[in-house]
Structures are given as C-alpha cells and as structure tokens.
Amino acid sequence: MPSTLNPERQIIDNLIAHLKQVSKNTLLGYSATGQEQDLDLPAILVQLESISEEQRQGNRAKYRMELNISVVTKTNADTTYALIDLTHSIRELFTAAQRFTPEARSVSVSETQFDIAPSNAHLSFADVQLHIDVVL
C-alpha cells in the first residue's frame, strides 16, 4: 500500500481536492480514462504524465510534475460552451494568488485542445496540460 506520507502523493491529493471545486466528479489514474460506461458527466479526468527532477540542493529538490487534465461531457448542442466554461473554471483555479499546496512554486496551464464528438450522446473532451514546479 502506498505511503500517505509520500510528498508526491500528497500533492496529487491536494490537486484532486482543488479540482473538485469545479466538478465533484474528478477522477485520477486508470479510472480517468473516460472509457467507463457509467461515468457521471461532466467529469474531470486527471492523468499524471511525468515527474522529473530539475535541480537538487542537499535533501531538497525541485521537481516538475506534468499532468493531463481532461474535461469530458456528452455531446449536444451546448457541448462547446460547456467545455469552455469548465476549462475556464480550471484555469481560474490556478491563476488565483493562493497556492493549492504549499510545495507548489509555480503552476502553468497549456492551451486547451478540443475533441468534439461528431454525434450526440458520444463523449467530447477538452484537454489541458498542467505543469507544476514543486520543492520537496
């Protein structure tokens, strides 16, 4: 069982809790593939892409965490606007002056990529890459 004292895990847990301000249905990892038939929508799906060490001084190090955040909803006439509204809310979370976790030094969000399904009732996505520089 993973340690709850693991600092990377605590950052991810804080991130998920932060994103739940936009949608209570925020999922991490394998459950966040968007392939489940019983996925409650809209949803925020979070995939950890990488953790890389940028520099080290003694026991402390600066890491860059890269995550893919997907907003998913069923396609209908308002899908584009719903995805824009949800991704806008996510961006606002990370432009606030207050850090979502004390370890985060900087957070940036990439451009939003949209994948609108061609027919109603299919899933449509908006993806953003989240980059977090943390000191652990």
Q: Which domain holds residue 53?
A: 7-135
Residue at 75 is within a domain = yes
pLDDT of 39 reads: 78
Residue 2 belongs to some domain of the structure: no
Domain for residue 122, yes or no?
Answer: yes
Angle at 14 between CA 2 and CA 41, to 5 degrees: 100
CATH code, domain with 84: 3.30.2000.10
Read off the DSSP letter of residue 9: H
**Residue 121: pLDDT over 90:** no
The pLDDT, as a whole number, for residue 79 is 95
First to last CA, the chain: 21
The position carrying tokens 């002056």 is: 97
In a domain, 46, yes or no: yes
pLDDT for the residue 32 = 53
Q: Which long-range contacts (CB under 8 A, 24 or more apart) does 54-57 make?
A: 54/133
Structure confidence by residue, pLDDT tens digits, 23-77: 999 999 865 555 556 778 899 999 999 999 999 999 999 999 999 999 999 999 9
Residue 1 counted as domain residue: no
| pLDDT the model gives residue 98 | 79
Structure tokens at 14: 């804080």
pLDDT digit string, tens, across residues 70-99: 999 999 999 999 999 999 999 999 887 778
